Structure 1
Amino acid sequence: MREPSRTIVESPHDLLGLVGAELGVSEVRSVSQADVNAFADVTGDHQWIHVDVERAKEGPFGGTIAHGFLTLSLAPLLLADILDVRGFTMGVNYGLDRVRFIQPLRPGTPIQGVATLVDAVELPGTDDKSASGVQAKASLVVEFADESQPCCVAELLFRYYA
């Protein structure tokens, strides 16, 4: 298990100087079977490997596993532990460049996120002379906390507007 750590920046523009730096490590979290079942209800994905506890015991993973997209949906929660950006009026998720589900996540398994800032660029203002904000790309590795082995790897794009 890694010690949680956090980066605090007073302005999105401070991210420009942190490209290549590890931003931190999240608190330890876990996904419960109830979380998996609720995600199945929301998405309509009730495949037995996710929700049928008895049948999944005999399946390829020895029990149920979280949906890959449920694991990915934890990114904002994990990043909130890792990065605190101040001095902006609005932040938005802008998209993803790459996602891989490396290993299945069993409910109850402790996980942590580890983030590295891959890129940060100024966003042009409406008059093209001033910056209106910053677009950043972070690599987030969701790890099994007890093993530091990757479960999910994603490159996340987000924008902070002044």
Structure 2
Amino acid sequence: MTVFASADEIKAALGQEVGPSRWFTLDQQRINDFGRLSEDEQWIHTDPERAASGPFGITVAHGYLTLSLVSPIVMEIFQVENLHSAINYGMNKVRFPAPVAAGSRVRGTAVIGACEPVGDALQIILTVSITAEDATRPACVAEFLMRVVADSPQPVP
């Protein structure tokens, strides 16, 4: 966990990588559960028999399942002290450069890309990379926007 006490500390760390996070296992049950919840039960994700003759030879995790790990990864590896609130403000860019085979473990890192005031908040942009164990390319790269407000009763705009 990398902890920052101020905007100045974050700005001083621009370009720095934080992490890695712990490992997350994307087993077939988790993939099936995500498919059911997201209503994306395409065979490439949920049918091991059919997927065996598909393009990857195995079922693969949904890209959006991998993307859903951005929040827990960031919460685990990046912290700003003395916050009133922190919100996920969105994403600027998301890519899925490599598939994640069922049963794989993934973990994430983030590079601090920007830190700018926005009203009463501080907007922090982190480029989060999620990579499967022993992979040469990341499975997901997402530019994540977070807005934080220091200890005060004022809400984030």
Taking structure 1 as the reference length, the TM-score comes to 0.86
Match of 1:63 in 2: 58
Could you tell me whether the CA contact under 8 Å between 2:7 and 2:115 is conserved in 1? no
1:134 to 119, 122, 128: 122
Consecutive unaligned residues in structure 2, runs of 5 or more: 151-157
Alignment partner of 2:91 out of 91, 96, 99: 96
Which residue of 1 is the match for residue 153 of structure 2? none
Between the aligned residues of both structures, percent identity stands at: 35
Take 2:69 and 2:45, find their aligned partners in 1: how far apart are those partners? 17
AA in 2 matched with 1:111:
V
CA contact (8 A) 1:12 1:133 kept: no
For these two proteins, the number of residue pairs brought into alignment is: 150
In the TM superposition, what whole-angstrom CA distance separates every residue of 1:23-55 from its partner, at most 9, and x where no partner exists?
Answer: 221112221111111111111111000111111
Contact 1:11/1:88 (8 A) holds in 2? no
* Whole-Å separation in 1 of the counterparts to 2:2 and 2:13: 10
Distance 2:141 2:79 in 1: 21
Give ranges in structure 1 of 5+ residues lacking alignment.
1-5, 125-131
2-side partners of 1:25 and 1:136: how far apart?
18
Find the counterpart in structure 2 of residue 150 from structure 1.
138
Whether the aligned pair in 1 keeps the contact of 2:97 and 2:137 (CA below 8 Å) is no
Q: Does residue 159 in structure 1 map to residue 147 in structure 2?
A: yes
Residue of structure 1 in register with 2:3 after alignment: 8
TM-score (norm 2): 0.88
For residues 90-129 of structure 1, what are the structure 2 equivalents within 5 Å? 90-124=85-119
Q: Which runs of 4+ in 1 moved over 3 A?
A: 11-14
With 89-98 and 19-28 compared, the bigger mean Cα shift is at 19-28
Matching of residues 22-33 of structure 1 within 5 Å? 22-33=17-28
State the superposition RMSD in angstroms: 1.5
